[in-house]
Amino acid sequence: MASDWTGRGKVRAREITGGAEIAIDGITTQARYYKPLVYEFFRKEFPIRPKGGDFEVELIMEFVGETPRLDLDNLAKALLDSLKGHVFFDDSQIAKLLCERRAGERERITVRAVRRGVLEGA
């Protein structure tokens, strides 16, 4: 079950089975930029309740041209902090974290957070 995307600006999100998927257009080298951006999006446009249990999180940063000078670990921490209290209660619930940087058709960051053991379409 995947619902339609919500959001009109740089951030969009949708509920998926067991969690949420978030897409952020554009990339900046300042990881701290993302935390308030995503936090405010959840607060104003996508009010969902956090879920318990362990989560698996996949973070993909797509870029165009030269590889951006952005530490994936800092980006992951900022984004996970912004999801806390919305998708899950605390980032200590993350049992698996996959971060990937790859060339893409446009600059975008996608975060998919799903409760462990819940399969899409199940």
pLDDT at 67 over 70: yes
At 109, phi and psi to the nearest 5?
A: -120, 130
CA atoms of 36 and 97, how far apart (whole Å): 21
Once rounded to an integer, what is the mean pLDDT over residues 99-119?
92
Residue 106, in any domain of the structure = yes
Residue 121, in any domain of the structure = no
Give the model's pLDDT for residue 1: 55
Residue 52, in any domain of the structure = yes
Residue 5, in any domain of the structure = no
Structurally, the chain folds into a number of domains equal to: 1
pLDDT category at 121 given cuts 50, 70, 90 is: very low
CATH at residue 50: 3.30.1330
Q: Give residue 106's domain range.
A: 11-115
Give the model's pLDDT for residue 59: 96
Residue 1, in any domain of the structure = no
Residue 4, in any domain of the structure = no
Give the model's pLDDT for residue 122: 44
User: Taking the model in full, what pTM does it have?
Assistant: 0.88
Residue 120, in any domain of the structure = no
CA atoms of 7 and 15, how far apart (whole Å): 12
Query: The tokens of 70 are what?
Result: 């952005």
CA distances from 62 to 1, 4, 77, 92 (A): 25, 22, 17, 26
Residue 84, in any domain of the structure = yes
Query: Which amino acid appears at position 67 of this protein?
Result: T
